[in-house]
Amino acid sequence: MIAVLGLIVGVVAGLVLQPVVPTAVEPYLPIAVVAALDAVFGGLRSMLDGIFDDKVFVVSFLSNVVVAALIVFLGDKLGVGAQLSTGVVVVLGIRIFSNAAAIRRHIFRA
């Protein structure tokens, strides 16, 4: 119940507060979104696997977002930002896909 509440609070906070994203951080937002989705799917799968751990969830979420942003930041400084963003998106995308597939197997047994 608290978890669902948290989800709703997050969405509402994002919509109501409309926090202005600083221009310096703006390029990393899409990557952060993909990393967040990856963490959420990973958490969901682990829950279905029966090995969910709240600390791992929060820490993996935060570190995913930070590391992804860091990689893109570094790439921007080195002039390969676009390529590294693509790389991050590909890796996280594959993870999201396979996690989604695992979740699907759990739910539909197929």
Partner 1 sequence: MSLLNNVIDHSLDDGYAEAAARRGVTGRSHLPTTLRAKLGLAFGLVLAALVVTVGAAQAQRAAPTVEKERQELIDRVEGGTADADDLQGEVDGLRESVAAMQRKALERHGGDKGELTALLSGSTPVQGPGIKLVIDDAKGSGGDGGGPREGSGFADTGRLRDRDLQRVVNGLWESGAEAVAVNGQRLTALSAIRAAGDAILVDNKPLAPPYTLLAIGDGQRLSTTFQDSADGQYLHVIQENYGIRTSIAAQDEVKLPAAPSVNVRTARPVEEEKGSTE
**50 interacts with partner 1 by CB under 8 A:** yes
How far apart are CB 44 and partner 1 at their closest, in Å?
10
Closest CA to 75 of 36, 38, 37, 28: 28
Among 47, 73, 76, 89, binds partner 1 (CB under 8 A): 47
Place of tokens 């952060």: 32
Q: Is the dihedral of CA 29, 35, 39, 40 positive or negative?
A: positive
**19 interacts with partner 1 by CB under 8 A:** yes
- CB-based burial label for 11 (10 Å; 0-12, 13-18, 19+): exposed
Site string for partner 1, 21-40 (x = CB under 8 A): x----x--xx-xx--xx-xx
Among 23, 54, 77, 109, binds partner 1 (CB under 8 A): 54
